[in-house]
Amino acid sequence: MQVESATGPIDTANLGFTYMHEHLIAATPGLYTSYPHLWEGDKIEREATERLRRVHAKGVRTIIDMSPADFHRDPLLARRVSAASGVNILETTGAYVHSILYFNTQECDLIADLFVRDIAVGINGTDIKAAVIKGATGPDGVTPTNEKHLRAAARAHRRTGAPISTHTDMRTHRGLDQQRVFREEGVDLGRVVIGHSGDAMDIPYLEQLIENGSYIGLDRFGIDLMLPEEQRIELLVELCRRGFAERMVLSHDASAMVDFVSPAFRAQPNWNWDTLVDRILPEARKRGVTEEHIRLMTVDNPRAIFEAQGPY
Ligand SMILES: [Zn+2]
C-alpha cells in the first residue's frame, strides 16, 4: 500500500520506526509575510536536516509533520529536508485550536473541501499531498467554531480515508468530546489518534479513549514542564503492562522551529527528536516494556493507521 509523503508516494512497508506527532515548523501564519526579516529559513532547514540525520542514524525512518495551514506549513522545505536527511516526512491538513480566521465565517463543508484539496491535489499550490488530518480542541472545549473544525476534519476523513490525528487538552478530557463529535459524523474511531494523551497520570480516562476504539498518542516526551519525564515513563510502562501497546503511538511534539512558546519552554533540555530513542525506550525496557511492545508503538501501529485506507 502507498501513502503520500513530502517526496511523493511511498510504500507503507517503508514507514519503519515512526514518530507520529512532530513539527518541522510550528509558527504564526502570516507573520513572516509581513515581517520577512524575522524568517530564518536557511537556519531552520539546516537545523531540521541535521537533527533528522542524527536520528536517522539511530533508526528513525518517518516523522509526521503535524503542522496544518495555520502553523506556517512549508511542504517544499519538508521535501528538501526529507531528501537530505533520509527521513520520510508526512504532511498534514486540518486545523489547530487557534486556526486561520477565514474558517470562522465559512461553512463546514467548504472547510472540508479545503482539507480534501490538500489530500487529493496538493498543499500550498504544490503537488505534495497531505497524509493526515488534524483536529484540535483546547481547554475551552468544543466551542461552536471548534465543533465546525472537528466536523470538517471528520467529513474530509470520510471523503478521503486519510486518518485523523488530534491535539487535545488532556486535563479537561477533550479527547472524549472529540470522539463524540467524530462519532456523530459517522467516523470509525479506530481511524483516529487522540493526541497529547501522555500529559497526566489519568489511566481511567485513557482506558475510556481506547475502549471507544481510538489510538492514543503519548506524544510529548521531553515536555517535562507539563509532566516530568519520570511520570511520562511510568505512564508508558503501566499502559504497556495493561496490554495497551497495540493502541498507542509515541512522539515528542518537538519542532525545528517554534515561535509561540516562551524561551523557558523552548529551552527544555530533552524536548528534541533524540529523547525517545536515547532516554525513554532504554529506560522503559529496563522496567518491563518488551521489544514487541516497542515495535507495535513505533512501527506496526503507525503502519496500520496509514493502511486503513479508502473513503466511506
Ligand atoms: Zn503538535
Cα gap 194→175, rounded to integer Å: 6
DSSP string, 178-214: HHHHHHHTT--GGGEEE-STTSS--HHHHHHHHHTT-
Q: What local confidence, expressed as pLDDT, does residue 60 receive?
A: 98
Cα gap 133→125, rounded to integer Å: 18
Residue 110 alpha carbon to ligand 1 centre in Å: 24
Tell me the β-bridge partners of 116.
none
Cα gap 169→197, rounded to integer Å: 8
Residue 249 alpha carbon to ligand 1 centre in Å: 14
Residue 198 alpha carbon to ligand 1 centre in Å: 13
Residue 19 alpha carbon to ligand 1 centre in Å: 12
Cα gap 101→304, rounded to integer Å: 34
Cβ atoms of 55 and 99 closer than 8 Å: no
Cα gap 174→178, rounded to integer Å: 6
* E strand or H helix at 84: helix 75-85
Q: What local confidence, expressed as pLDDT, does residue 190 receive?
A: 98
Q: How far apart are the first and last CA of the chain?
A: 18
Amino acid at 202: D
**Average pLDDT of the residues of the chain:** 97
Residues, the chain = 312
Residue 132 alpha carbon to ligand 1 centre in Å: 13
Domains within the chain, CATH numbers bracketed: 2-307 (3.20.20.140)
Residues in the chain with pLDDT < 70? none
The structure's pTM equals 0.97
Q: What local confidence, expressed as pLDDT, does residue 57 receive?
A: 98
Tell me the β-bridge partners of 267.
none
Cα gap 194→189, rounded to integer Å: 10
Q: What local confidence, expressed as pLDDT, does residue 210 receive?
A: 98
Q: How far lies 253's CA from each of 22, 25, 218, 221, 268, in Å?
A: 4, 11, 10, 8, 13
Q: What local confidence, expressed as pLDDT, does residue 97 receive?
A: 94
Q: How far lies 99's CA from each of 95, 146, 300, in Å?
A: 6, 9, 32
Residue 167 alpha carbon to ligand 1 centre in Å: 7
Residue 138 alpha carbon to ligand 1 centre in Å: 12
Q: Which residues contact 11 (CB under 8 A, 6 or more apart)?
A: 1, 2
* Strand 215-218 versus strand 248-250 pairing type: parallel
Q: What local confidence, expressed as pLDDT, does residue 135 receive?
A: 98
